[in-house]
């Protein structure tokens, strides 16, 4: 019977059993390190892996964490039984990958909020060892490190000639002291620790240059990124945190179905600061941070929480996103340049690889990362010798490939190219409802709602049970202001899938647009029943309560939305508005201020806070906020008119008249501007001009 081995990487559990051959492979992949604790059998004695003869190619000095004198060791690692040839890694038997070529969705909690967009493809635990030696490879152990037969290995090519860029090495990250048994870092300390490991990935394609992010995995120069970042690239460079760069010498493996790629960079080892991989998925509600290095915004970091951990098939069933991987849904904001960067917990462990995001109209992004526990089997399947670029998807030229490329064109705003790729997908498979939905979305993005509706009609004809197609058509109707047709289609989508919170959410939007607050509240409530952690549904219901002037219920829903998603700036803004309506100006100012912290370019938040300051009689602070709102949005007519009123309150009638003139130029139907200008004229003793403006304000519906 083959020897069975267990290994221990920290925490309260062990991994295994694995046979001798597998233990060797784990060591070669850097999963089992010289200082990893291993034992043979259930009752064997734990020893450091460096004491297992034959496990490592070279002798390794005992680490500083060695447990005293070397105990009597287990027998040497037996050689594997000879086999006839190397094990075959055939083509994956999993379904071909479909990238999200569909109407976009807000994925919140356990439901899908299907809204008005295309899914934009942007295309992660134990305690970090802060005093790790420089040349240690990362700890990359999943709960089960068995290699998957579905991970194809690219053919190896001769080792490229090593090149070394002449640049100063990056500074070593400073260790952060631990408290107790777990190191929980502040965001600033986490950024200092992780930053030197985050890289920018610059690639050249036949048609264009592209950029993404990645992170250092080991001292041999392995970089993790997204497959879509390097796909079809003919050349590339890795830019380190000190702004020096080195060429990509090739790729060690690509897994398009997981959107993961491993590339090799040749550079001095002192530039490589490996990150460690978490050994399990993060918990819901756990705080995480996304790192990326997009052009012009190198070494960016943003934080949020884990909203949910989902299987790729779960998303495929809800919104046609085919990513064959465990996905981490997070409120942490991603940008396009964050693709391939690490999602890190507050202990410094990589829990995911930033991969994709949805951008619902009027809401904040909902983001997904491929869980880091997906990586260890890929590390075992990778080549040791890099293959030359370009790296291509083996499904290239098929329907799904065209649809995925169409999604990339949508991401870049190249809607005509997206339509051309969907046309090709339809030519290859005239019965592909997904291709019609994708083309419909491209038409929608161009503002051609009629063509979008026509394509959704065809998708429904091909697949009458497609709730997704009904939701897509409802979206186009919504933007044509045909709310009744939108409601009818959302209703059919609900009939087809009564558990889809997204259809209730979409129908509530249409009811709200019609002014039917009660029906909107009923649908938001149903969406919450189906998905109790849907922050956007609480936010939407709060808006409907606010519209009914039920400010207490509105504040309650906004507060719950904020509890579920602390980065939801819109909820802070509207809760501030509700507090203002209750004349609780201090609470209003606090919420507007938080909204501005989350979104510093939100002109509305400055305008709202200016209102609250004005109501408190603080005209100087009001003027400052109105002025900032105008700087952020020079076409903001209301900000000009209310700044004019603030000037009027300070006795500066000339500045008040100038601002009201600009407000009227921007919006000739701005009743406030006429009334406030009339007040300024009255203050200057120009009664006739004042009466004229008051009369015009009354005609436009001004109510004091």
Q: What residues are paired with 371 via a beta bridge?
A: 352
pLDDT of 40 reads 80
Rounded Cα–Cα distance for residues 504 and 491 (Å): 8
pLDDT of 264 reads 96
The Cβ-side half-sphere exposure at 110, using a 13 Å CA radius, reads 6
pLDDT of 402 reads 86
* CA angle at 442 for the pair 366 and 420, rounded to the nearest 5°: 130
Looking at 339, 364, 381, which one is the last position of a domain? 381
On whether the CB atoms of residues 68 and 127 are closer than 8 A, the answer is no
Bridge-based pairing of strands 235-239 and 222-225 is: unpaired
Q: Domain check: are 148 and 255 in the same one? A: yes
Which tens digits make up the pLDDT trace of 568-598? 999 999 999 999 999 999 999 999 999 999 9
Is the pLDDT at 273 greater than 50? The verdict is yes
| Alpha-carbon torsion angle 237, 238, 241, 242, nearest 10 | -40
Rounded Cα–Cα distance for residues 304 and 354 (Å): 13
Window from 312-316, 538-542, 563-567 with minimum mean pLDDT: 312-316
For residue 181, being part of any structural domain is answered with yes
Q: Which helix (H) or strand (E) holds 327?
A: strand 326-330
Q: Domain check: are 208 and 59 in the same one? A: no
pLDDT of 114 reads 32
Q: Domain check: are 173 and 319 in the same one? A: yes
For residue 686, being part of any structural domain is answered with no
Looking at 353, 381, 409, which one is the last position of a domain? 381
Query: What DSSP designation does 52 have?
Result: S
What beta strand segments (E) does 207-258 contain?
209-216, 222-225, 235-239, 245-255
pLDDT of 341 reads 95
Q: Domain check: are 180 and 62 in the same one? A: no
pLDDT of 691 reads 96
Which tens digits make up the pLDDT trace of 135-193? 333 333 323 333 333 344 433 333 333 333 333 344 444 443 333 455 788 999 999 99
Q: Which helix (H) or strand (E) holds 627?
A: helix 619-632
On whether the CB atoms of residues 341 and 350 are closer than 8 A, the answer is no
Rounded Cα–Cα distance for residues 323 and 352 (Å): 14
pLDDT of 17 reads 77
Q: Which residues of 296-306 are buried (b: 16+ CB within 10 A; e: fewer)?
A: eebbbbbbbbb
Rounded Cα–Cα distance for residues 93 and 104 (Å): 28
For residue 477, being part of any structural domain is answered with no
Q: Which helix (H) or strand (E) holds 401?
A: helix 399-411
pLDDT of 650 reads 93
CATH code of residue 258 = 2.40.10.120
pLDDT of 321 reads 59
Is the pLDDT at 306 greater than 60? The verdict is yes
Q: At what angle do helices 535-547 and 551-564 cross, to 10 degrees?
A: 170
For residue 172, being part of any structural domain is answered with yes
pLDDT of 90 reads 32
pLDDT of 404 reads 75
Q: At what angle do helices 585-598 and 569-581 cross, to 10 degrees?
A: 160
Q: Which of 489, 403, 474 is nearest to 119 (CA)?
A: 403
Q: Which of 666, 659, 596 is nearest to 625 (CA)?
A: 596
Backbone angles phi, psi at 92, to 5 degrees: -60, 140
Q: Domain check: are 174 and 243 in the same one? A: yes
Q: Domain check: are 288 and 154 in the same one? A: yes
CA distances, 238 to each of 93, 156, 194, 222, 612 (Å): 33, 21, 17, 11, 49
Is the pLDDT at 206 greater than 70? The verdict is yes
Q: How confident is the model at residue 398 (pLDDT cuts 50, 70, 90)?
A: confident
Is the pLDDT at 111 greater than 60? The verdict is no
Interval 11-27 mean pLDDT = 67
Is the pLDDT at 510 greater than 70? The verdict is yes
Q: Which residue has the higher pLDDT, 134 or 53?
A: 53
Interval 398-415 mean pLDDT = 79
Is the pLDDT at 657 greater than 70? The verdict is yes
What number of other Cβ atoms are within 10 A of residue 70's Cβ?
Answer: 12
Q: Domain check: are 240 and 369 in the same one? A: yes
For residue 146, being part of any structural domain is answered with yes
Q: Which of 217, 512, 453 is nearest to 350 (CA)?
A: 217
What percentage of the chain reaches a pLDDT higher than 90? Answer: 52
SS3 string, 257-269, reads HHCEEEEEECCCH
pLDDT of 409 reads 77
Q: Domain check: are 163 and 282 in the same one? A: yes
Q: At what angle do helices 569-581 and 535-547 cross, to 10 degrees?
A: 20
Looking at 381, 416, 441, which one is the last position of a domain? 381
CATH code of residue 36 = 3.30.1490
For residue 113, being part of any structural domain is answered with no
Q: How confident is the model at residue 101 (pLDDT cuts 50, 70, 90)?
A: very low
pLDDT of 267 reads 92
Measured distance between the N- and C-terminal CA atoms of the chain, rounded to whole angstroms = 90
The structure's pTM equals 0.59
Window from 40-44, 650-654, 678-682 with minimum mean pLDDT: 40-44
Interval 249-277 mean pLDDT = 92
Question: ω before 17 within 30° of 0 (cis)?
Answer: yes
Is the pLDDT at 134 greater than 60? The verdict is no
Window from 51-65, 126-140, 180-194, 475-489 with minimum mean pLDDT: 126-140
Q: Does residue 82 sit in helix, strand or coil?
A: coil
Rounded Cα–Cα distance for residues 704 and 495 (Å): 47
Q: Domain check: are 181 and 255 in the same one? A: yes
Residue 336: give the domain boundaries: 119-127+139-381
pLDDT of 51 reads 67
Rounded Cα–Cα distance for residues 288 and 352 (Å): 10
Q: Which helix (H) or strand (E) holds 579?
A: helix 569-581
Q: How confident is the model at residue 74 (pLDDT cuts 50, 70, 90)?
A: very low
Q: Domain check: are 269 and 371 in the same one? A: yes
Is the pLDDT at 490 greater than 50? The verdict is yes
What beta strand segments (E) does 348-465 contain?
349-358, 366-371
Interval 1-26 mean pLDDT = 65
Phi-psi domain of 206 (left: phi exceeds 0; alpha: psi -120 through 50; beta: other): alpha
Q: Domain check: are 263 and 176 in the same one? A: yes
Q: Which residue has the higher pLDDT, 399 or 183?
A: 399
What percentage of the chain reaches a pLDDT higher than 70? Answer: 74
CA distances, 300 to each of 256, 291, 296, 349 (Å): 26, 6, 10, 17
Query: Among 57-71, 74-88, 120-134, 688-702, which range has the highest average pLDDT?
Result: 688-702
SS3 string, 115-131, reads EEEECECCCCCCCCCCC
On whether the CB atoms of residues 333 and 367 are closer than 8 A, the answer is yes
Q: Domain check: are 373 and 228 in the same one? A: yes
SS3 string, 8-20, reads ECCCCCCEEEECH
pLDDT of 9 reads 53
pLDDT of 502 reads 82
Q: How confident is the model at residue 393 (pLDDT cuts 50, 70, 90)?
A: confident
Is the pLDDT at 61 greater than 70? The verdict is no
Which tens digits make up the pLDDT trace of 316-351? 555 555 678 899 999 888 877 888 999 999 999 999
Rounded Cα–Cα distance for residues 280 and 350 (Å): 10
Interval 653-668 mean pLDDT = 97
pLDDT of 359 reads 57
Q: How confident is the model at residue 399 (pLDDT cuts 50, 70, 90)?
A: confident
Say if residue 397 is exposed, middle or buried (CB neighbours under 10 Å; 0-12, 13-18, 19+).
Answer: exposed
SS3 string, 161-199, reads CCCCCCCCCCCCCCCCCCECCECCCCHHHHHHHHHHHEE
Is the pLDDT at 93 greater than 50? The verdict is no
* CA angle at 679 for the pair 673 and 680, rounded to the nearest 5°: 90
* Tally of domains in the chain: 2
Bridge-based pairing of strands 260-265 and 245-255 is: antiparallel
For residue 522, being part of any structural domain is answered with no
For residue 527, being part of any structural domain is answered with no
pLDDT of 410 reads 79
Phi-psi domain of 690 (left: phi exceeds 0; alpha: psi -120 through 50; beta: other): alpha
pLDDT of 591 reads 97
Q: How confident is the model at residue 14 (pLDDT cuts 50, 70, 90)?
A: low
Where helices occur in 242-319 by DSSP H, the ranges are 312-319
Is the pLDDT at 112 greater than 70? The verdict is no
Chain centre to alpha carbon of residue 553: 31
Q: Does residue 216 sit in helix, strand or coil?
A: strand
């Amino acid at each position: 019977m083959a020897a069975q081995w267990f290994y221990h990487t920290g925490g309260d559990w062990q991994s295994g059993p694995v046979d001798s051959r597998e233990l060797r492979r784990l060591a070669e992949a850097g999963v089992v390190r010289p200082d990893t604790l291993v034992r043979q059998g259930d009752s064997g004695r734990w020893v450091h892996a460096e004491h297992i003869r034959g496990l490592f190619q070279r002798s390794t000095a005992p680490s500083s964490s060695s447990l005293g004198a070397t105990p009597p060791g287990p027998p040497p690692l037996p050689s594997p039984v000879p086999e006839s040839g190397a094990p075959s890694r055939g083509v994956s038997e999993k379904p071909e990958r479909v990238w999200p070529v569909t109407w976009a969705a807000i994925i919140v909690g356990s439901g899908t909020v299907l809204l008005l967009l295309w899914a934009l493809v942007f295309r992660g635990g134990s305690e970090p060892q802060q005093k790790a030696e420089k040349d240690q490879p990362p700890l990359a152990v999943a709960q089960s490190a068995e290699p998957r037969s579905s991970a194809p290995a690219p053919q190896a090519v001769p080792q490229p000639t090593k090149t070394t860029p002449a640049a100063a090495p990056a500074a070593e990250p400073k260790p952060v002291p631990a408290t107790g048994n777990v190191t929980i870092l502040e965001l600033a300390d986490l950024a200092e620790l992780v930053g030197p490991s985050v890289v920018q990935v610059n690639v050249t394609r036949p048609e264009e240059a592209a950029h993404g992010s990645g992170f250092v995995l080991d001292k041999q120069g392995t970089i993790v990124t997204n497959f879509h970042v390097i796909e079809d690239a003919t050349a590339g460079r890795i830019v380190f945190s000190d702004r020096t760069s080195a060429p990509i010498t090739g790729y060690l493996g690509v897994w398009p179905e997981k959107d993961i790629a491993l590339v090799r960079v040749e550079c001095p080892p002192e530039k490589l600061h490996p990150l460690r991989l978490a050994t399990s998925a993060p918990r819901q509600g756990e705080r995480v941070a996304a790192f990326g290095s997009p052009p012009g915004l190198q070494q960016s970091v943003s934080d949020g929480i884990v909203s949910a951990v989902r299987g790729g098939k779960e998303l495929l069933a809800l919104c046609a996103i085919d990513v064959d991987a465990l996905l981490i849904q997070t409120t942490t904001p991603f940008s396009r340049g964050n693709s391939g960067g690490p999602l890190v917990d507050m202990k410094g462990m990589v829990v995911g690889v930033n991969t994709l995001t949805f951008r619902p109209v009027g809401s904040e992004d909902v983001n997904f990362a491929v869980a880091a526990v997906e990586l260890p089997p890929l590390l075992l399947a990778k080549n040791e010798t890099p293959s030359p670029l370009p790296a291509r998807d083996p499904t290239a030229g098929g329907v799904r490939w065209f649809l995925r490329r169409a999604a990339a064109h949508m991401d870049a705003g190249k809607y005509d190219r997206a339509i051309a790729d969907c046309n090709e997908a339809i030519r290859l498979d005239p019965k592909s409802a997904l291709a019609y939905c994708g083309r419909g979305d491209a038409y929608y993005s161009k503002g051609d709602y009629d063509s979008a509706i026509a394509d959704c009609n065809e998708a429904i004809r091909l697949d009458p049970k497609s709730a997704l197609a009904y939701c897509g058509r409802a979206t186009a109707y919504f933007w044509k202001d045909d709310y009744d047709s939108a409601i009818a289609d959302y209703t059919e989508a609900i009939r087809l899938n009564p558990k889809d919170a997204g259809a209730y959410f979409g129908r509530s939007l249409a009811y709200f647009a019609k002014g039917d607050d009660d029906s909107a509240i009923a649908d938001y409530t149903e969406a919450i029943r189906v998905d109790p952690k849907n922050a956007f549904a609480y936010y939407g219901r709060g808006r409907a309560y606010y519209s009914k002037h039920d400010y207490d219920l509105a504040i309650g829903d906004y507060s719950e939305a904020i509890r579920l998603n602390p980065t939801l700036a819109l909820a802070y803004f509207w809760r501030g508005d509700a507090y203002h309506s209750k004349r609780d100006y201090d609470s209003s100012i606090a919420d507007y201020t938080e909204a501005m912290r989350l979104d510093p370019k939100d002109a509305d938040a400055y305008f709202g806070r200016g209102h609250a300051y004005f109501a408190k009689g603080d005209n100087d602070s009001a003027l400052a906020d109105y002025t900032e709102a105008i700087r952020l949005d020079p076409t903001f007519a209301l900000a000009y008119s209310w700044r004019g009123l603030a000037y009027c309150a300070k006795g500066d009638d000339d500045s008040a008249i100038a601002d009201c003139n600009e407000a009227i130029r921007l919006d000739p139907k701005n009743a406030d501007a006429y009334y406030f200008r009339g007040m300024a004229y009255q203050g200057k003793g120009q009664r006739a001009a004042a009466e004229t403006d008051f009369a015009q304000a009354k005609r436009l519906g001004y109510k004091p």
